[in-house]
Amino acid sequence: MKKQILSLMSALTLFAVNGAFAGSGHGSASEIPAYYDAELFTIQFVEFSEKAAESLLEHNKSINLIFVSDESLPGGAPFVAVIDSVPGDEFNPLWLEVEIEFTTGHTPRQLFSDDEVEDAVASGEIMLEATDEVYWCPVVGPK
Protein backbone atom coordinates (compact mmCIF):
# COMPACT_ATOMS: atom_id res chain seq x y z
CA MET A 1 0.00 0.00 0.00
CA LYS A 2 2.82 2.39 0.93
CA LYS A 3 4.43 1.67 -2.46
CA GLN A 4 1.17 2.55 -4.26
CA ILE A 5 0.86 5.84 -2.38
CA LEU A 6 4.45 6.80 -3.15
CA SER A 7 3.91 5.88 -6.81
CA LEU A 8 0.75 8.02 -6.96
CA MET A 9 2.53 10.95 -5.28
CA SER A 10 5.39 10.68 -7.77
CA ALA A 11 2.97 10.65 -10.69
CA LEU A 12 1.13 13.71 -9.36
CA THR A 13 4.41 15.55 -8.86
CA LEU A 14 5.43 14.69 -12.42
CA PHE A 15 2.07 15.87 -13.76
CA ALA A 16 2.35 19.13 -11.83
CA VAL A 17 5.88 19.79 -13.06
CA ASN A 18 4.80 19.13 -16.66
CA GLY A 19 1.82 21.48 -16.50
CA ALA A 20 -0.82 18.75 -16.19
CA PHE A 21 -3.16 20.92 -14.16
CA ALA A 22 -5.49 22.92 -16.40
CA GLY A 23 -6.50 25.68 -14.03
CA SER A 24 -4.49 28.03 -11.90
CA GLY A 25 -6.60 27.62 -8.75
CA HIS A 26 -4.35 25.98 -6.19
CA GLY A 27 -4.42 25.91 -2.42
CA SER A 28 -7.38 27.26 -0.47
CA ALA A 29 -8.67 29.14 -3.54
CA SER A 30 -9.60 25.77 -5.03
CA GLU A 31 -11.47 24.46 -1.97
CA ILE A 32 -15.14 23.55 -2.34
CA PRO A 33 -17.67 21.77 -0.13
CA ALA A 34 -18.72 18.20 -0.96
CA TYR A 35 -21.01 15.69 0.72
CA TYR A 36 -20.00 12.15 1.62
CA ASP A 37 -22.60 10.03 3.41
CA ALA A 38 -24.50 13.17 4.49
CA GLU A 39 -21.41 14.73 6.08
CA LEU A 40 -20.06 17.95 4.60
CA PHE A 41 -16.34 17.91 3.77
CA THR A 42 -13.97 20.43 2.22
CA ILE A 43 -12.05 19.23 -0.81
CA GLN A 44 -9.54 20.84 -3.11
CA PHE A 45 -10.78 20.86 -6.68
CA VAL A 46 -8.05 21.18 -9.31
CA GLU A 47 -8.62 20.04 -12.89
CA PHE A 48 -6.02 18.08 -14.84
CA SER A 49 -5.28 19.16 -18.42
CA GLU A 50 -7.11 17.26 -21.16
CA LYS A 51 -3.96 15.30 -22.06
CA ALA A 52 -3.23 14.32 -18.45
CA ALA A 53 -6.89 13.38 -17.86
CA GLU A 54 -6.88 11.13 -20.92
CA SER A 55 -3.76 9.35 -19.66
CA LEU A 56 -5.13 8.99 -16.13
CA LEU A 57 -8.42 7.53 -17.37
CA GLU A 58 -6.57 5.10 -19.61
CA HIS A 59 -4.11 3.85 -16.99
CA ASN A 60 -5.84 4.21 -13.60
CA LYS A 61 -8.76 1.91 -12.83
CA SER A 62 -9.32 3.21 -9.28
CA ILE A 63 -10.49 6.74 -9.99
CA ASN A 64 -13.24 7.96 -7.66
CA LEU A 65 -16.40 9.76 -8.77
CA ILE A 66 -17.50 13.29 -7.97
CA PHE A 67 -21.14 14.01 -8.80
CA VAL A 68 -22.03 17.58 -9.77
CA SER A 69 -25.07 19.37 -11.17
CA ASP A 70 -25.27 22.69 -12.96
CA GLU A 71 -28.96 22.95 -12.10
CA SER A 72 -29.82 25.33 -9.25
CA LEU A 73 -31.83 24.10 -6.32
CA PRO A 74 -35.16 25.74 -5.43
CA GLY A 75 -34.43 29.26 -4.22
CA GLY A 76 -31.32 29.47 -6.40
CA ALA A 77 -28.89 27.68 -4.08
CA PRO A 78 -26.12 25.79 -5.88
CA PHE A 79 -25.96 22.00 -5.87
CA VAL A 80 -23.12 20.87 -3.58
CA ALA A 81 -20.95 18.13 -5.07
CA VAL A 82 -21.23 14.54 -3.80
CA ILE A 83 -18.15 12.32 -3.53
CA ASP A 84 -18.03 8.54 -3.33
CA SER A 85 -15.03 8.14 -1.04
CA VAL A 86 -12.98 9.72 1.73
CA PRO A 87 -9.62 8.66 3.20
CA GLY A 88 -10.00 5.22 4.73
CA ASP A 89 -12.74 4.18 2.26
CA GLU A 90 -10.85 3.08 -0.88
CA PHE A 91 -9.84 6.70 -1.35
CA ASN A 92 -7.86 7.96 -4.32
CA PRO A 93 -7.43 11.74 -4.83
CA LEU A 94 -8.18 11.33 -8.55
CA TRP A 95 -11.81 12.06 -9.42
CA LEU A 96 -13.84 11.68 -12.60
CA GLU A 97 -16.59 14.28 -12.85
CA VAL A 98 -20.08 12.87 -13.40
CA GLU A 99 -22.89 15.29 -14.30
CA ILE A 100 -26.30 14.85 -12.68
CA GLU A 101 -29.32 15.88 -14.72
CA PHE A 102 -32.75 15.88 -13.11
CA THR A 103 -35.33 14.34 -15.42
CA THR A 104 -38.53 16.06 -16.54
CA GLY A 105 -41.01 16.39 -13.70
CA HIS A 106 -38.37 16.14 -10.97
CA THR A 107 -37.39 19.29 -9.11
CA PRO A 108 -33.64 19.52 -8.51
CA ARG A 109 -32.75 18.70 -4.91
CA GLN A 110 -29.57 18.25 -2.94
CA LEU A 111 -28.33 14.67 -2.79
CA PHE A 112 -26.08 13.79 0.13
CA SER A 113 -24.37 10.48 -0.73
CA ASP A 114 -23.43 8.21 -3.60
CA ASP A 115 -26.13 5.80 -2.34
CA GLU A 116 -28.74 8.57 -2.80
CA VAL A 117 -27.36 9.19 -6.28
CA GLU A 118 -27.72 5.48 -7.12
CA ASP A 119 -31.29 5.42 -5.74
CA ALA A 120 -32.23 8.52 -7.74
CA VAL A 121 -30.89 6.89 -10.93
CA ALA A 122 -32.81 3.67 -10.19
CA SER A 123 -36.06 5.59 -9.66
CA GLY A 124 -35.62 7.62 -12.86
CA GLU A 125 -35.32 10.91 -10.99
CA ILE A 126 -31.90 11.68 -12.46
CA MET A 127 -29.62 10.67 -15.31
CA LEU A 128 -25.84 10.57 -15.06
CA GLU A 129 -23.31 11.48 -17.72
CA ALA A 130 -19.62 10.86 -17.14
CA THR A 131 -17.44 13.66 -18.46
CA ASP A 132 -13.84 13.41 -19.61
CA GLU A 133 -12.78 15.81 -16.85
CA VAL A 134 -10.47 14.46 -14.14
CA TYR A 135 -9.69 16.38 -10.97
CA TRP A 136 -7.17 16.14 -8.17
CA CYS A 137 -9.37 16.40 -5.09
CA PRO A 138 -7.71 15.69 -1.78
CA VAL A 139 -10.14 15.79 1.12
CA VAL A 140 -8.97 18.62 3.35
CA GLY A 141 -11.30 17.73 6.20
CA PRO A 142 -14.81 17.93 7.56
CA LYS A 143 -16.42 21.31 6.96
Q: Where are the domains of the chain?
A: 2-142
Q: How are strands ordered across the β-sheet holding 31-36?
A: 46-47, 126-136, 94-102, 64-68, 81-83, 31-36, 39-44, 139-142
Instruction: Specify the DSSP element, H or E, that contains 5.
Output: helix 2-17
Q: What is the pLDDT of residue 88?
A: 77
> What is the chain's alpha carbon radius of gyration, rounded to the nearest angstrom?
15
Query: From CA 115, how far away is CA 32, in angstroms rounded?
Result: 21
* Phi, psi (rounded to 5 degrees) for 98: -120, 125
pLDDT tens per residue across span 74-99: 999 999 999 998 887 777 789 999 99
Please give the mean pLDDT across all residues of the chain.
82
Question: Whole-prediction pTM value?
Answer: 0.77
